[in-house]
Amino acid sequence: FIQLVFSSFPVRLPAYTLKETIERISRIGYDALDIGFAAPHAWPFYLDKLKRKDIAMILQDNNIAVSSILPAVGGGPGANVT
């Protein structure tokens, strides 16, 4: 499942947090997620060690694996993560 479908990237509404997305896709039967590197939910410069651990626990609690990480063009300020 591609997480960007539930995010505000580029202009989709309503937008769900990464936590809400993980919980929703788990409830409907998905077992893996492509996380889009986009601000603010998963832009690398916004994810300190505690936030990364938090995301890992949410994934584990919902039995969701990360199948890929997708750099999002214009996902946030700063360096190009690719």
| Residue-level pLDDT at 80 | 54
Query: Is the peptide bond prior to 14 cis by the omega test (within 30 degrees of 0)?
Result: yes
Element (H or E) spanning 22, and its range? helix 18-27
Task: Find the helix packing angle between 18-27 and 49-61, rounded to 10°.
Answer: 10
Residues β-bridged to residue 34: 2, 68
Listed as ranges, residues in the chain with pLDDT below 70 are: 1-14, 39-40, 72-82
Give, as one character, the DSSP assignment of residue 74: T
pTM of the model: 0.73
